[in-house]
Amino acid sequence: MAKKNSRSARIIRHQRARKKIQGTSLRPRLCVFRSLNHIYAQIIDDSIGQTVVSSGTLDPQVKGDIEKLNKTKTSEVVGASIAKKALDKGIKTVVFDRGGYMYHGRVKTLAESARKEGLLF
C-alpha cells in the first residue's frame, strides 16, 4: 500500500465530496483551491463542463488590492471579487465546494466574504 501524505488525503476527501456536489446551470459550483501562498476560486457549470467565472490572488484586478495583506485578508478580497464577478454574470446562488480542505481559516474567510457580497449558498 502506498504511503499517504496530506496532499493525497485531501484529494481523496475532495473526490468523496464531489460524488455528492454537482454544479448545474441554475446553481453552479464554487470551487476553492488553496496553495501555500495563493488561493483561487472558480464558479463551474458541471453540466457543460465550463468555468463561468474565476478569481484568485494572481488575478490582475485582485493583485493590486492585496499587497502587504496577510493570507486571510487576501482570501477575503478574493471572495469579494468572485462574488462581484458572479453577480455581474447573473449568478446569485451556488453550491460551495471546499475542495477537500477544512472549512476553517482561509477557506471559511473566502466563503463568508462571498456571502457578504450577496452570493447565496
CATH of the domain at 15: 3.30.420.100
Band the pLDDT of 91: cuts 50, 70, 90.
very high
- Let me know if residue 121 belongs to a domain: no
Kindly state the cell numbers that stand for 83. 462574488
Place of cell 446569485: 92
Each residue of 40-86: pLDDT tens digit?
999 999 999 999 999 999 999 899 888 889 999 999 999 999 999 99
> Is residue 2 predicted with pLDDT exceeding 70?
no
115: three-class secondary structure by DSSP: helix
Q: What are phi and psi of 33, to 5 degrees?
A: -125, 135
Distance CA 116, CA 49 (A): 27
For the chain, the domain total comes to: 1
- Let me know if residue 1 belongs to a domain: no
- Let me know if residue 40 belongs to a domain: yes
Band the pLDDT of 104: cuts 50, 70, 90.
very high
pLDDT at residue 3 in the model: 63
Distance CA 40, CA 79 (A): 9
Q: Which domain holds residue 24?
A: 6-116
Do 96 and 107 contact (CB within 8 A), yes or no? no
Whether the model pTM is above 0.85 = yes
Distance CA 121, CA 117 (A): 12
